[in-house]
Amino acid sequence: MRDFLPEDVRRREYVIGIIKRVYERYGFEPLETPAAENLETLLGKYGDEEKLIFKILRRGEHEATGQADLALRYDLTVPLARVVAQYQAKLPRPFKRYQIQPVWRADRPGRGRFREFYQCDVDSLGSTSPVVEAELCGAVADAMTELGFSDFVIRLNHRQLLTAMLDSRGVKPNEHMATLVTLDKLDKVGREGVEKELEARGRSRDAIEALMELFAPPQPSAATISKAMEGLRNAYAPSPASVVRDALKGLLDAVPHGQSAIANLKEIVTLAEQTKAKGRITFDRSLARGLSYYTGAIMELNVDGIGSLGGGGRYDNLIGMFSGQQIPACGFSLGLERILVVMTERGMFPPSLATSPADVMVATFDAAGAGPAMRIADQLRQSGLRVMVYPDPDRIGKQIKYADGRGIPFVAILGEDEIRAGRVTIKNLADRTQQTYEQSEAGAAIREALQQRG
């Protein structure tokens, strides 16, 4: 959990602003939920990851029990399901919402991983159409492109296909979730690491080989990847829709019981080709995503050399846990913190974000100038400028040095002569020039100079 200094906040607001604008272009509406949920709301939704939930102990007369009844929200999806169940009579169908708020996980911090972090969620509820998944992929791809990313892919798989794949290799249903969590680590710890973990879970060597043959087949050659990528190189080689469909057809021969899931994936890929996700979709049979509430298509956004910056999928049964009524749902979540880390490392933020706290600072020679300084500052603000008043009567040179050090481009100097004549001297710190104006004209002059600076 961190503090954010002004430059950090500006960068966060820049990224959030772009993501919000993109989501709203797709017809998604804003939603916010409380930081704390009833503990029972969160339990039973996250599988093995429930151990990462921050629990809140009972308070007041119940404090001595040492029991927890509340918890900080672990993600934004379960609170959304609770809201839809609670307010379904007031919400439209379908209901499309975006939510950008912090979540908390008792995780081990690492590069781009924190215990308090923001998620940028976008969800559509009330429809089973593959248009939903395709549009989510399009919205996320649109946001990433507008942020300046060009080397990302959206990996695609299906929970029902994964179930069929596990069944075909003799994995018992009660072992599915644990096996999927392990297989989902293929891109993090590699084949050898996954094999060791499966062996530790009691899998025989033959069983492990059978799983690896299906979930981690030999990768295509560099030449094949290059051709499919049309020159765009990534760790996951996004493929044109036809290439993805061919990969799915090949898998169908090995897992015939996955036919309906494969058909659904083909529809999603075909529709996504009509969006900003065109050329960004790749089928990855090893993608599992650890959360237990996914029921259909699952997605993950990866950036070359970085890894995952977000993911999601279909969760048609989650809302029914709260309302008893099944409402289909699908969503995608971008991880704000990891996006910020990558954009900072790559220098992707516009120079204007390293901005100063003000356009102009008002400086005076003595305490008698405080009143006139406040008046001219108010006047300049009314003209649309950001204005700071230096609070202490100090040497003008020291005040100018302060403004220069903060990147404030102009200093409005009020001496006795200026105050008496109703004028103000504007010093341009970029070119070290100054000019005296009528106070009523100073704002327009500064704005014009700022426009010329770009």
Mean pLDDT confidence for 351-365? 88
| Residue 226, pLDDT score | 42
Give phi and psi for 218, each to the nearest 5.
-55, 140
Separation of alpha carbons 300 and 150, rounded Å: 16
The residue with tokens 């044109």 is 240
Separation of alpha carbons 301 and 281, rounded Å: 9
Q: Computed from CA positions of residues 285, 287, 293, 296, in that sequence, does the dihedral angle turn out positive or negative?
A: negative
The pLDDT tens digits of the residues spanning 401-413 come to: 999 999 999 999 9
**Burial of 323 per CB tally in 10 Å (0-12, 13-18, 19+):** middle
- In sequence order, the β-bridge partners of residue 56 are 70
Q: Computed from CA positions of residues 262, 265, 270, 271, in that sequence, does the dihedral angle turn out positive or negative?
A: positive
pLDDT over threshold 70, residue 233: no
Q: What is the CA radius of gyration of the chain?
A: 28
Q: Are 287 and 188 in contact (CB under 8 A)?
A: no
Q: Are 432 and 441 in contact (CB under 8 A)?
A: no
∠ CA 23-28-30, rounded to 5°: 95
| Residue 290, pLDDT score | 65
- Of 159, 132, 120, the C-alpha closest to 31 is 120
Q: Distance of alpha carbon 107 from its chain centroid, rounded?
A: 18
Separation of alpha carbons 326 and 316, rounded Å: 7
Residue at 171: amino acid letter: V
Residue 245 tokens read as: 């469909």
**Least confident range of 53-57, 74-78, 174-178, 438-442:** 174-178
Separation of alpha carbons 19 and 5, rounded Å: 21
Q: From the CB of residue 440, how many other CB atoms can be counted at a distance below 10 Å?
A: 12
Residue 395 tokens read as: 């040497």
The pLDDT tens digits of the residues spanning 91-139 come to: 999 999 999 999 999 888 766 678 999 999 999 999 999 999 999 999 9
Separation of alpha carbons 241 and 294, rounded Å: 24
Of 329 and 63, more confident: 329
Separation of alpha carbons 220 and 225, rounded Å: 6
Separation of alpha carbons 84 and 72, rounded Å: 19
Q: From the CB of residue 420, how many other CB atoms can be counted at a distance below 10 Å?
A: 9
- Look up the pTM and report it: 0.81
- Of 444, 263, 237, 260, the C-alpha closest to 359 is 444
| Residue 213, pLDDT score | 76
| Residue 145, pLDDT score | 96
**Burial of 60 per CB tally in 10 Å (0-12, 13-18, 19+):** exposed
**Least confident range of 5-19, 144-158, 225-239:** 225-239
| Residue 10, pLDDT score | 93
Q: Distance of alpha carbon 443 from its chain centroid, rounded?
A: 39
In 184-278, alpha helices (H):
186-200, 205-215, 222-229, 241-254, 259-272
**What is the residue extent of each domain of the chain?**
6-346, 356-453
Give 43's DSSP letter. T
Q: Distance of alpha carbon 154 from its chain centroid, rounded?
A: 14
Residue 454's pLDDT band, with cuts at 50, 70 and 90, is low
Question: CA of 342: how far to CAs of 91, 144, 306, 447, in Å?
Answer: 37, 12, 8, 34
Residue 230's pLDDT band, with cuts at 50, 70 and 90, is very low
| Residue 360, pLDDT score | 96
Instruction: List all residues 6 or more positions away from 119 whose beta carbon is below 8 Å from its beta carbon.
Output: 75, 76, 99, 100, 101, 102, 103, 333, 334, 335, 336
Q: CATH top-level class for 6-346?
A: alpha beta
Sheet with 68-72, side-by-side order of all strands: 36-38, 68-72, 55-57
- What is 356-453's CATH number, 2.30.30.790, 3.40.50.150, 3.40.50.800, 3.30.530.20? 3.40.50.800
